[in-house]
Structure 1
């Protein structure tokens, strides 16, 4: 699927601990919103939507989780578990997040501010839109 891509985040290794930096050249969009998911109960799922225009970059800052994506034809599961790489998801891709490990934190960097009109929250509507 060409609408998703793993992107490595620059990592500076040091015996005192590692540091990763996301600056304007790392992502192919200007950052407009940042939010994070945490304390996700065992067995819970997040996501379950697509965006009409927003692009997102997901990172497992701590722990791990699965991102299930589909463009309506192909379906893929990507496990995120490294804080120095993330998953770029273009608009027009349905995503679901599940299988959160205990203590996991999912950071989301978005290309646009929140607008409910940008979301497609019904999978059948998503399929009709493509």
Structure 2
């Protein structure tokens, strides 16, 4: 094992591991026996790397790619992480998985190639799912009212769902778009908005939606056109596990504005915390 990786952190390094000279380690890192980490790799604070994990970022090209294991990530034993991949904050890679694409913050991935199978909350526990038919259970713990039930009429001729903008949506829509034909392994969203509000309705099929206000994370299985999910500003939204026939309608309170997007989760957390501090200061001058 190489005993002098870059960085001045505190490590727990078991026997029979190899840490290359280019690797940068943070603090409070655990690395299991048999693991190999080499190339341009950054492992941030509080990460856990299991037994026999391979992170190989050695490249011979002119533009080597850095592989990053973000703070709090947990890589299960036998996992293989490809060059140039970023493992997001507090993400979980299950044992034996082969990761060839970036893993979003707090995501749980498994398989070969690894796919998202769920998300963890801010305490590392798997986020519980609420289906459209049992969604009310989350109201007791939600900081806002996220779910709106839409009017449905059915008879022998079929079914109709009505949505009145002034009654069923907590804002006046300025934009509408539809997401469909999404491969099941792909993830949509993964961003927040400074000002824009959104209202999501799954018109057909099903899709899992994760909403994060910076302090709490909740997951919904949207599988009925009779339910709308409201996302206020400064809400990090992620949609994944689309069924093959899924069609997701999105109503937005503002026209498309590129500078209204927050696409980096660390920046999102900072903006949310700054907003809370400003609100607290204004309430306590």
Task: Sort the TM-score into its range (normalised by shorter chain).
Answer: over 0.9
Distance, in Å, in 2 between the alignment partners of 1:73 and 1:108 is 24
Q: TM-score, normalised by structure 2?
A: 0.45
**2:187 paired with 1:41:** no
Aligned counterpart, 1:115: 257
In the alignment, structure 2 segments of 5+ residues that lack a partner are 1-141, 273-285
**2:191 paired with 1:12:** no
Distance, in Å, in 1 between the alignment partners of 2:178 and 2:208 is 15
Q: Which one has a larger percent helix, Structure 1 or Structure 2?
A: 2
Aligned length: 130
Distance, in Å, in 1 between the alignment partners of 2:210 and 2:185 is 15
Deviation at residue 26 of structure 1 after TM alignment: 1.0
Deviation at residue 16 of structure 1 after TM alignment: 0.7
Q: Deviations over 1:29-86 (max 9, x none)?
A: 1111100100001210000000111111101100001111111111111110001111
Aligned counterpart, 2:203: 61
Q: 2:207–2:240: 8 Å Cα contact kept in structure 1? A: yes
**2:219 paired with 1:77:** yes
Aligned counterpart, 2:244: 102
**RMSD between superposed Cα atoms in Å:** 1.0
* Rg larger for: 2
Q: 1:28 aligned to 170, 173, 179, which one?
A: 170
Q: TM-score, normalised by structure 1?
A: 0.96
Q: Which one has a larger percent strand, Structure 1 or Structure 2?
A: 1
Which structure would you say has the larger RCO, counting Cα contacts within 8 Å and 6 or more residues apart? 1
